[in-house]
Amino acid sequence: MKHKAHRFFASMLVAAFFASTPGMAAEIPNIPTPTEGWNTVWHEVLIDLWVIGILFGSLGAYFLVKYRAKDPDAVGSGKKLDFRQALAWCLIPCALFLADDFMLAAKGWTLWNTQRTIPAGSMEIKVTASQWNFTYEYPNGVEISSTDRDTDKNLFGTEIMDGDLVIPVGKPIVMRMISSDVIHSFGLTDYRLKEDIMPGRVTYIWFMARKPNISQVVCVEFCGTNHSGMYNRVVAVSKANYDTWLAKKKQEATLRRRTYAANIIKR
């Protein structure tokens, strides 16, 4: 009886879990992303650095204290290495350093392939950078300008600004980027990514949000007077909310175009 009750509650829990995220688990593709990859490798690199740092640091500090001159005329008694010792003190450290280098290179290369290989089924947003603004063009033609800082308060509970780069959760996003004047750079701070944007060459970057959140995209290549004013928010929202937002933007754009045309006709 007791056993049965236990099983019952467990199944309830499982059901509750799936109920709370209707369809979400199925929607978010289970692929490695640049963001999680970066965080993992960063922690491994940090361990590597701390081990080497503490080893050399403590050894150096020990030598500095231990080998203080006992009397002002004393001289050091370091021996001249013979050929075999000298060779060993060259080859063994070289081998160790190279082993560490190649280990890091292998980890770095693996992550690099994730960072640069665009997954299937991704959504493309075109970015045009100029002094000092990013313009985003969505697949359906909606354009967002990063310098619009007006706030749209009443959209699905999240405060959305006109210049926000709004993206759906669980969808790999590719930014296809070009500049119309000088070199800029697309720095997705919380997604651990950046790539320069320049005239005459198209560059790309891909990322994916797993949860609704708000982060920043900043220009990170020096571009003049208002370099530090060239930024906007990246707002990841659920697919449903994204569709609502995009439809609203599309409507606004159509309205704007009609008003514009009407004005011209009037004139």
Partner 1 sequence: MTVATDGIPEDTGSSHGGFKLKEWIFTTDHKRIGIMYLIGSIAALLVAGLMAMGIRIEQTYVGESGLIQYFVGDFAGNMTTGDAYNAALYFHGAAMILAFLIPGLTGFAANYLVPLMIGAPDVAFPRINALSLWLFWMGILVALLSFIIPDAPDIMWTGYPPYSITTSTNTAFYVFTVHLLGFASILGAVNFLVTIIYMRAPGMGWNQMNMFVWTTFAAFIIQLIFVPVLAAAVTLLLLDKYAGTNFYNPDAGGDVLLYQNLFWFYSHPAVYVIFLPAMGIMYEVIATMAKNRIFNYKVAVWGGIIGILVITGEVWVHHLYIAGMPNWIRIGQMITTLMISVPVGLMVISWWGTLYKGSITYSTAMKYASANMFLVLVGGLTGIPLAMTSMTVHLSETSFIHAHFHFIMALFATFSMFAAVYHWFPKMTGRSAEGKLADAAFYVTFLGTQLTFWPLFIIGIEGMPRRYWNYEMFPQFEPYHMVATIGSFIIAFGAALMILNWIKAAINGPKVGANPWKSRSLEWTHTDIIAGPGNFPKPVTVSEDWTPYDYANADGTPNTSN
Query: Which of 108, 243, 251, 262 lies at the binding interface for partner 1 (CB under 8 A)?
Result: 108
Quote the least distance from Cβ 193 to partner 1, whole Å. 6
What lies within 8 Å, CB to CB, of 176 at 6+ separation is 124, 125, 126, 127, 202, 204
58 binds partner 1 (CB under 8 A): no
Binding mask 206-235 for partner 1 (x = CB under 8 A): ----------x-xxxxxxxxxxxx-x-x--
70 binds partner 1 (CB under 8 A): yes
Query: Which of 31, 47, 81, 118 lies at the binding interface for partner 1 (CB under 8 A)?
Result: 81
Say if strands 213-219 and 160-161 run parallel, antiparallel, or are unpaired: unpaired
99 binds partner 1 (CB under 8 A): no
173 binds partner 1 (CB under 8 A): no
Residue of 177, 266, 168 lying closest to 221 (CA atoms): 177
Query: Number of C-alpha atoms within 13 angstroms, CB side, residue 24?
Result: 15
> Within 9-38, which residues bind partner 1 (CB under 8 A)?
34, 37-38
172 binds partner 1 (CB under 8 A): no
165 touches 128 (CB < 8 A): no
Residue 120 and residue 115: Cα distance in Å, rounded?
14
Measured between its terminal Cα atoms, the distance across the chain in Å is 84
Query: Which of 6, 7, 43, 201 lies at the binding interface for partner 1 (CB under 8 A)?
Result: 201
Quote the least distance from Cβ 191 to partner 1, whole Å. 8
CB closer to partner 1, 2 vs 70: 70
In one-letter notation, the amino acid at residue 255 is: L
Torsion of CA 15, 18, 23, 24, to 10 degrees: 180
67 binds partner 1 (CB under 8 A): yes
47 binds partner 1 (CB under 8 A): no
Query: Which of 7, 23, 159, 181 lies at the binding interface for partner 1 (CB under 8 A)?
Result: 181
